[in-house]
Structure 1
Amino acid sequence: MLIGVIGKPSSGKSSFFKAATMIDVAIADYPFTTIKPNTGVGYVVIDCVCKEYGVKCSPNNFLCIEGKRFIPVKLIDVAGLVPDAHLGKGMGNQFLDDLRQADCLIHVVDSSGLTDAEGKPAKDHDPEEDVKFLEREIDLWFAKIIERGMEKYLKKKQFGKVEVLQVLSEHLSGLGISKEQIKQALDQHGIDDLEEFSFHLRKISKPIIVAANKIDLPSSEENLKKMKEDFPELTIIPTCAAAEISLKIAKEKGVIKCQNNIIEIIGQVDDKQKKGLEFIQKNILEKYGSTGVQDCLNKAVFDVLGYIVV
């Protein structure tokens, strides 16, 4: 299983990746900080049965910490995508190809509206435009690949009987798309409208959830509300990757405990650090229930992809 982390430049994509994996990656507030894809391992988290049965856990394929199972999941963070990426703008074709094997995509959106579609500073950019353009870029990239597959099918058809399902299955194997997923899209939508078929196959084979990042900034709350109203079909999760990184570093240094989204300071902190932790507690954890990073991973693996822990 592979989760792709996508978004426009400066959306907080690499911060989200670092928050999920705690791998040091280049993070900056200017476009194209990431060029080559970052890969790492994050974890989905569920309650472990050891707590329920009062036994000590001896796991082989996961971690068990304080009654929680941490199950490893591979992540890939690709460079920022800009409008017309499917045409090669901003090295878009290369960046899109890095996503070929991803099973699900987490779209990190700058919900504050303080960066434009290319990741440059802005005052009141509408993050809904980012949701629309990036999904369309992924869909059009998909359509180009499927169009080449159909060209193969039509050539082979000239020399004998051949099934479109079989040809597309072979052609799309490099995208990690199963024959069953192609059949589902063919059965539901047919192939007469190639672009429409491509869009539906992408939704089946590489579903997208939205991490509404930078939720700590003042303009984000209203933008989040509007996005949820205007895109009811999308899974949109309020997220603050920077806060998740801060909390994990503080926990690793033994400065805080954080259980049930309640921060307890147990080490020495200065006034600035204390105010920062109080801000996270009040404006993120109490308001939204979490920083959103773990919620995105769990939602992608368990709800969207339908994996079950055994």
Structure 2
Amino acid sequence: MITLALAGKPNCGKSTFFKAATLADVEIANYPFTTIDANHGVAYARVPCPCRDLGLQCDQCKDGFRFIGVGLVDVAGLVPDAHLGKGLGNQFLDHLRSADAIIQVVDASGGTDAEGNPVDLGSHDPMEDVRFLRYEMAMWVSGIIEKHLPRLTRAAQGKEPALIEHLAEALAGLSISAEDIRSAIDATDVDLFRADADALCRLSDALVTINKPMVVLLNKADMATEDMLNTLPVEMIRATAAGELALRNAASAGLIRYLPGDPDFSEIESVAMTPQQKKGLAMIRDVMKRFDGTGVQQAVNHAIFSLLDLIVVYPVEDETHYTDGKGRVLPDAFLMKKGSNPRDLAFRVHTDIGKGFLHAIDARTKMRIKDTAELKSGDIIRIVSAAK
């Protein structure tokens, strides 16, 4: 399963985001290091389900949208000099090893200092938090490389390809590959045999950029002044995790109709709400109008489809009725790397199916397609295999 990590300093709203995205029971409090051990849950990427276009009735979607599970990890808050062990730094950084991408949660209101302590709204620059996370991660990776490099350079005997392979083995626990290292070297022009501390920092920063892509979520944007928000890059997602959590709880309680990722919600006429509930929902609606939603689902989708460049493919056993062997319409939706082909999909369904792969059929066209054909997002594919 694809895994996203929530990163940021303490008290920026990571646990609120996590609870909103997963509806898991986690502790939320207004003090640093609420999260000590990482919380693990399942969030969902949202895509339109093909059933509507095909005129089918599908039991796998909600109001025409398919929600596909992805792992979500809320790790301990990061403070400056975490790579030196300050705060819970080493523990925090270790939890990022298996993440495919990172959602960096930033307090856009400027109401918490660099270590997560409450301060007056607007008194802390959110961009400082944006910059220091990548710096801490780069310094962490740099420290690991520096530790291993003398031994690895001796083993490589002056041959760069060998050194890259040795370094990739040393960094395998961080999910950093030899290809990642080659790309980082090309981007920075660092000579590993002669690299000093500054060069290793540049290389490590490039590795983090390549291997751990990030989207910045400007949480508590509803509490930030317009002047503050206008100073922050437009590509950063404005959000209110607290608003999303309130909407999901209200929907679960049957007070409103709301689908995660919708730009608005609707009241249920037959349900009576207190004046306080109505006022709270009205305030959230105003925020959603400003930011085109709460930002929570948008951040998950951005990480999955923009940062990781994944597509959604639907395998079926019957291309005529778009069903599996039990007659279920479009029963599965798989997140696949862009550039994947039908053989890749066969192995994703089951190793034996992949080993016995014969050919594939595009269910929409009913035409056989090559095993090397590049799949597109929304494709519905029947795999024909010798395996049973």
Structure-2-length-normalised TM-score: 0.74
Q: Matched residues in 1 for 2:34 and 2:125: separation?
A: 22
Q: Name the SS for the 1:228 alignment partner.
A: coil
Alpha carbons of structure 1 residues 195 and 50: separation in structure 2 relative to 1, 3 Å? same
Q: Name the SS for the 1:261 alignment partner.
A: coil
The residue aligned with 1:196 is 202
Question: Aligned pair 1:211/2:212, yes or no?
Answer: no
Answer whether contact 2:46 2:66 (CA < 8 A) is retained: yes
Q: Matched residues in 2 for 1:12 and 1:56: separation?
A: 39
Q: Name the SS for the 1:65 alignment partner.
A: coil
- State the one-letter code of the partner of 1:240: T
Paired residues, number = 299
Q: Matched residues in 1 for 2:99 and 2:200: separation?
A: 22
The residue aligned with 2:8 is 7
Q: Matched residues in 1 for 2:138 and 2:153: separation?
A: 22
Q: Name the SS for the 1:216 alignment partner.
A: helix
- State the one-letter code of the partner of 1:298: N
The residue aligned with 2:78 is 81
Post-superposition Cα deviations, 1:114-136, rounded to whole Å, max 9, x if no partner, equal 11011111121111111112221
Alpha carbons of structure 1 residues 75 and 201: separation in structure 2 relative to 1, 3 Å? same
- State the one-letter code of the partner of 1:201: L
The residue aligned with 1:261 is 263
Post-superposition Cα deviations, 1:186-233, rounded to whole Å, max 9, x if no partner, equal 2332333221111101100001111000011143x332221217xxxx
The residue aligned with 2:103 is 106
* Structure exhibiting the larger radius of gyration computed from Cα positions: 2
Alpha carbons of structure 1 residues 295 and 253: separation in structure 2 relative to 1, 3 Å? same
The residue aligned with 1:289 is 292
- State the one-letter code of the partner of 2:232: M
Choose 244-253 or 49-58, whichever is displaced more: 49-58
> 1:286 Cα deviation (Å)?
0.8
Answer whether contact 1:156 1:162 (CA < 8 A) is retained: no
Q: Matched residues in 1 for 2:115 and 2:156: separation?
A: 43
> 1:57 Cα deviation (Å)?
2.2
Larger relative contact order (Cα-Cα within 8 Å, sequence gap ≥ 6)? 1
Identity %: 46
The residue aligned with 1:277 is 281
Q: Matched residues in 1 for 2:112 and 2:167: separation?
A: 39
- State the one-letter code of the partner of 2:50: V
Q: Matched residues in 1 for 2:274 and 2:145: separation?
A: 57
Q: Which residue, 212, 228, 237 being the options, matches 2:233?
A: 228
- State the one-letter code of the partner of 1:96: L
> 1:91 Cα deviation (Å)?
2.3
Answer whether contact 1:139 1:202 (CA < 8 A) is retained: yes
The residue aligned with 1:142 is 141
- State the one-letter code of the partner of 1:57: C
Q: Matched residues in 2 for 1:18 and 1:188: separation?
A: 38
Post-superposition Cα deviations, 1:38-64, rounded to whole Å, max 9, x if no partner, equal 011100101111011110225xxxx41
Question: Aligned pair 1:299/2:302, yes or no?
Answer: yes
Q: Which runs of 5+ in 1 are unaligned?
A: 230-234
Answer whether contact 2:77 2:88 (CA < 8 A) is retained: no
Q: Matched residues in 2 for 1:277 and 1:64: separation?
A: 26
Q: Matched residues in 2 for 1:28 and 1:194: separation?
A: 38
Q: Matched residues in 1 for 2:280 and 2:163: separation?
A: 57
Choose 160-169 or 82-91, whichever is displaced more: 160-169
Question: Aligned pair 1:90/2:90, yes or no?
Answer: no
Alpha carbons of structure 1 residues 144 and 107: separation in structure 2 relative to 1, 3 Å? same
Q: Matched residues in 1 for 2:160 and 2:203: separation?
A: 22
Question: Aligned pair 1:129/2:132, yes or no?
Answer: no
Q: Matched residues in 2 for 1:304 and 1:160: separation?
A: 33
CA RMSD of aligned residues (A): 1.8
The residue aligned with 1:67 is 64
The residue aligned with 1:250 is 250
Q: Matched residues in 2 for 1:160 and 1:207: separation?
A: 30
* Structure with more of its chain in helix, by fraction: 1
Post-superposition Cα deviations, 1:260-299, rounded to whole Å, max 9, x if no partner, equal 42322212210001000001111x1111101000000000
The residue aligned with 2:39 is 38
> 1:158 Cα deviation (Å)?
5.4
Post-superposition Cα deviations, 1:1-44, rounded to whole Å, max 9, x if no partner, equal 21110110100011111111110111001000001000111001
Answer whether contact 1:38 1:77 (CA < 8 A) is retained: yes
- State the one-letter code of the partner of 1:163: A
Q: Name the SS for the 1:287 alignment partner.
A: helix
Answer whether contact 1:153 1:162 (CA < 8 A) is retained: no
- State the one-letter code of the partner of 2:272: Q
Q: Which residue, 307, 312, 316 being the options, matches 1:309?
A: 312
